[in-house]
Chain A
Amino acid sequence: MKKLFVLLFSSFILLGATAQVEKGNLLIKNGTVITITKGNLEQTDVLIKDGKITQIGKNIATPAGVKVIDASGQFVMPGIIDAHSHIALDGINEGSNPITPEVSESDVINPFQIGIYRALGGGITTVHAMHGSANAIGGQCETIKLRYGTFDPEVLKMDGAPRTIKFALGENPTRSHGEGSGIVPRTRMGVEFVIRQAFSEAKEYTEKWNQYNKAKLVKGFRGAPPTYSYRHEVLSDILNDKIIVHCHSYRADEIYMMLKVCKDFGIKRIVFQHVNEGFKVAPELAAQGAMASVFSDWWAYKFEVYYSTAYNAAILSKNGVVTSINSDDGEMMRHLYHEAGKTQKYGGLNDEEALALITINPAKQLGIDGRVGSLEVGKEADIAIFKNHPLSIYGVPMFTIVDGVVRFDREKDPDDMRLVVDPKQAIETATFRDKLSNQDHCMEGAEFILDSELFNANKK
């Protein structure tokens, strides 16, 4: 065991030093391959070369030097994708301002959080590492692959994945800014107002630059350029559909409001997050091509999430909304396959529909479905191998593979998987519990506002 750990650890160091994404070769033999998009294939092999799936079929010959995993009697499925998470980040909310699109989680990736390895233990391979929900327009998020072992935050990023950004409606922005700081937005109307105002300013900003750039082409032009604003640059990118909006929301009225805002400003790519009342506006969401990422059955943790149902995911799916089930939580993330399974009891989704909620659908919501989310030749080899069917209550992830590299192996699962150790930490407190369990991370980092005198006074 110890030897293996040393071996693992030293390979991590090598990887960190080169700062390049490690890609593996692998042959997974004789499993039940759940492709998601092309049905199930019994006793089938999957061949991986240089991090990509190159062949799916029966009796594939083992290329020289390629490691083989015998998956006889096991289930081989695409790595699970969590469209809403806050792991691997140093900082979740820039809660000081209701509009902060210029901040980006890509600047504060933390590849050392033990939660990354724990998520691998639940068959997760890709995570949408999001800004929190304190602000109406929050920060940009980062789609990461769980290449745990690297020392380089850049290596965790899924290179080429579309940019995404967090928006938030309802109680979180109103209590952070309205109640906490005494500024707009104090109400749902205020939230709509600050979003519309930001977009309008961005349009003006873009217009000014367009005028300036046009004027500059004229010979002999003399004039001052508009002042550079990072915030308005990013807002313009949203308006130009260069960034997918992921909007924290619960109530049908605010979801409908946001659909109208998108229409008015020509925003085409939006995914609603949580969407507890999504079932009330499912046809409207489908008509506008908006997507939904929901909890299976989690609600009533605050006033705006009382009107909820476990049928939400099924109703949305049956209405043609691309729907995913997310965790928003380091613990729930480890059994998203159970969460997906609940849609079979509540809504009667079939296996393929239920598993799509945690594979190809979240991939679509992140704009990476061309690369991951199903098992197809040419896709990236992000794979989870289960003992027993993943939707069975007896399903257990055995291997988790990212880019053809085994990142989790239940048989070889050392006790201490920390990559870095704090030399000042007392042994007594060196437990592996980090802050990633059982908390509302959507508001992490905004507590200082919620503790303010004004906020408490308003509460009375």
Chain B
Amino acid sequence: MVEKRFIQQTASGIVVLLVCSCSLLAQDEKELKPVTRTYAITNVNVVQAPGKKLDMATVVVRDGLIIAVGKGISIPLDAVVIKADSMYLYAGFIDGLSRAGVTKPKEEANREKIKDPGNPPPDRAGITPQNDVRNSLNASDKSIEDLRNVGFTVAQIVPYGNLLPGQGSIVLMGGKSADQMVLVSNSALYSELSGANGVYPNTTMAVIAKWRELYRQASQAKSYQSLYASNRAGLERPGNDRVLEAFYPVIDQRIPVLFKSEKMLDAHRILMLRNDLGFSLMLADLKEGWPVANKIKASGIKVFLSLDLPEEVKKDDKKSDNKSNKKADSIKAKEVAKPKTAADLEKDALEKRKAEAIANYTSQASVFNKAGVSFGFSSLSAKPKDIPANLRRMIAAGLSEDAALAALTTTPAQLLGLSDRMGTVENGKMANLIISDKSYFNEKAKVRYVFVDGVMYKQEVKEEKKSDPNAKVDIEGSWSTVTQTPQGSNDGKVIFKKDGSGYKGTISGGRMPAPADLISVTLEGNKLSYTYSLSFGGNTIKVEVEATVEGDSFKGNATVGPRGSFSIEGTKNPKN
């Protein structure tokens, strides 16, 4: 089209020019093939599988596959050589439940009121099992990059929703389009024990009742359909029902039901439902599962433990004690002499139990491992950047590094039926790889390269974002901010004011219904961070902004509770 118009509009005599233009246009439209799809990673510590390490070996990748692993391998002529001296290479991690790349449906502010809340249409009731997550998968969503950056190359992703949001797919953490990313479509029927907010089923008990009814209706409809298919004469035509039809592969045990189950009572309830109905079950994002480890083992279901952990209790109290002690010895003496009050003792006891609870969450993986349950991990409610640290906390709480690696690679490959393709670093497997500069579980390790399906993603080691602790910047004044979210860019306004030696501030605009005070503002050198809370349909979400200030602008990230991290930029408004 463009070419034709171009020809019509151009003087026909200028042949040379025409040829040039054509080739330029063609280049714009057609993407170039990579120069090579062959890579050789040399001199690297290859962890082929948990407990199976090859020192100073070479791994060759060609056309998306691992074609050689070992020592003394000749490097193909067309290979890009990555000199990974003293680095560590692992099979790419596999995530059992995630929403990386999945676009969240917009919340309709003025959704039509349901006239009879007891009988809402299925989509309003959260019953859309026929939805396919591929339809809401956006290959360029930043959440894919975030998860890939910590080493995940494959994830089972699911749509947003309540009771039955739809069908999940197993996808690569890289690719140009949704279809290119998909490894296994319709891998599981996804479900949550969450109600439809004001309409039936509103409560957990109604969600469970509705689940039973739908499953039984689907079984009934399915057997009538096959009866009809075998001999149609004299039989009433069976109706079509996409909701019930979505259960058919579950009833046939061709796909499992993937249930989000954070708490121990969720697990009990879901297991009860599964015992009633007999579907094959995958529990995911389990956080409080240690008391049900044996029950899960006995039931033979598949399980993915959450990579999210409760925050550790900060030891601020002790620090501040020390400070005050330093200030005045006389006060210190008084404090020591002061006996603990009943309230102090009660507080101590409560703190102790809270610490025990955090420890229980942290040691969940270790408990499952000791109980002999094979498990994978899921990132659904974890912030990707916290995952390496959370894994280290699990390891400190008794999980071996090999067991942690198994739960990230070989076991999820097995649980998801992908063992023939991934999970280990072996000839013939997909080239899903992680290369980190130190052992992955080392506190100082940085992921340097991630290969997804043979495509290399290199991570430049950032020099700590140019943050300079000695830089002197003044942030006082009014700033306009722009946050990039999947729903579009979001404008806000922040005002910082001097407050003693530090700063305080207020924020307005964006999604804030009214201006609000910032919870905290810190400025160390040119490293700015501030936090505030955002009220959202009854929920309060904490937003943490971290940015580097340069002159009259800053750049950084805003982490919005569990919703993810988005890039944010600020510019200082000129003084009036």
Contacts and interface: CB of A to CB of B under 8 A. Distances in A.
Interface stretch (B92-100, B115-123, B160-168): B115-123
Contacts of A422: 357
A8 to B, nearest CB: 14
17 contacts: A17-B294, A97-B119, A107-B205, A108-B269, A110-B265, A222-B231, A223-B236, A224-B224, A225-B224, A230-B216, A231-B213, A415-B349, A420-B264, A421-B356, A424-B311, A427-B354, A448-B202
A32 to B, nearest CB: 37
A227 to B, nearest CB: 7
B52 to A, nearest CB: 34
B504 interface: no
Contacts of B236: 223-224
B296 to A, nearest CB: 12
Interface in B190-245: 198-206, 208-209, 212-213, 216-217, 220, 224, 231, 234-236, 238
B354 A430 contact: yes
Contacts of B295: 19, 152
Contacts of A95: 202
Interface of A: 13, 16-17, 19, 90-91, 93-100, 102-105, 107-108, 110, 112, 139, 151-154, 177, 181-183, 222-225, 227-231, 415-416, 418, 420-425, 427, 430, 445, 448-449
A225 B238 CA distance: 11
Contact of B200 (A19, A97, A107): A97
B294 to A, nearest CB: 6
Contact of A423 (B119, B209, B354): B354
A421 B268 contact: no
Secondary structure at the B interface, as helix, strand, loop or mixed, is: helix
B220 A227 contact: yes
B205 A104 contact: yes
Nearest to A101: B209
B353 interface: yes
Contacts of B198: 96, 448
Given A97-B119, A423-B357, 13 more contacts: A19-B295, A96-B118, A102-B213, A103-B206, A104-B209, A108-B208, A228-B213, A230-B212, A420-B264, A420-B288, A422-B357, A425-B354, A449-B117
A225 B265 contact: no
B238 A224 contact: yes
B347 interface: yes
B265 A418 contact: no
B297 to A, nearest CB: 11
Q: Return the 7 tightest CB-CB contacts between A and B, nearest first.
A: A97-B118, A423-B310, A421-B357, A230-B213, A91-B203, A96-B200, A423-B357
Contacts of A90: 204, 265
Contacts, number: 139
B235 A223 contact: yes
A153 B356 CA distance: 22
B351 interface: yes
Nearest to A17: B294
A94 B116 contact: no
Contacts of A415: 346, 349
B7 interface: no
A38 to B, nearest CB: 40
B272 interface: yes
A225 B346 CA distance: 63
Most chain A CB within a 10 A radius of its CB, from B119, B206, B353, B361: B206
Contacts of A423: 310, 354, 357-358, 360-361
Nearest to B119: A97
Interface in B342-380: 346-347, 349-351, 353-354, 356-358, 360-361
B209 to A, nearest CB: 4
Contacts of B117: 96-97, 181, 449
A173 to B, nearest CB: 12
A110 B264 CA distance: 10
B291 interface: yes
B567 to A, nearest CB: 27
B340 to A, nearest CB: 15
A94 B201 contact: yes
Contacts of B213: 102, 228-231
Nearest to A100: B206
B354 A421 contact: yes
B471 to A, nearest CB: 35
A332 B551 CA distance: 66
A452 to B, nearest CB: 9
A278 B372 CA distance: 59
A151 B264 contact: yes
Contacts of A100: 118, 200, 206, 209
A449 to B, nearest CB: 8
Nearest to A422: B357
A151 B288 CA distance: 12
Contacts of A421: 353-354, 356-357
A107 B235 contact: no
Given A420-B264, A420-B288, A448-B198, A103 B353 contact: no
B47 to A, nearest CB: 32
B250 to A, nearest CB: 17
A107 B269 contact: yes
Contact of B204 (A16, A107, A112, A228): A107
Contacts of A19: 295
Contacts of A449: 117
Given A223-B236, A224-B236, A423-B358, A108 B346 contact: no
A94 B206 contact: yes
A21 to B, nearest CB: 15
Contacts of B288: 420
A139 B354 contact: no
A153 B354 CA distance: 23
B347 A427 contact: yes
Contact of B353 (A98, A105, A418, A445): A418
A139 B349 contact: no
A204 B208 CA distance: 25
A91 B205 contact: yes
Contact of B201 (A96, A223, A224): A96
Contact of B291 (A16, A97, A110): A16
Nearest to B298: A19
A103 B205 contact: yes
Contacts of B357: 420-423
Contacts of A424: 310-311
B235 A222 contact: yes
Most chain A CB within a 10 A radius of its CB, from B116, B217, B311: B116
Contact of A139 (B205, B346, B353): B205
B239 to A, nearest CB: 9
A267 to B, nearest CB: 22
Contact of A98 (B118, B235, B269, B292): B118
A104 B269 CA distance: 12
A165 B4 CA distance: 76
A228 B199 contact: no
B220 A228 contact: yes
A182 B113 CA distance: 12
A87 B358 CA distance: 27
A19 B291 CA distance: 10
Interface string B97-118: 0000000000000000001111
Nearest to B273: A107
Contacts of A182: 115
Interface string B292-318: 101100000000000000110000000
A151 B263 CA distance: 12
A16 B358 CA distance: 20
B361 A96 contact: no
Contact of B350 (A17, A107, A108, A427): A427
A227 B205 contact: no
Contacts of B235: 222-224
Nearest to A2: B349
Given A425-B354, A445-B203, A153 B265 contact: yes
A107 B353 contact: no
Interface in B326-352: 346-347, 349-351
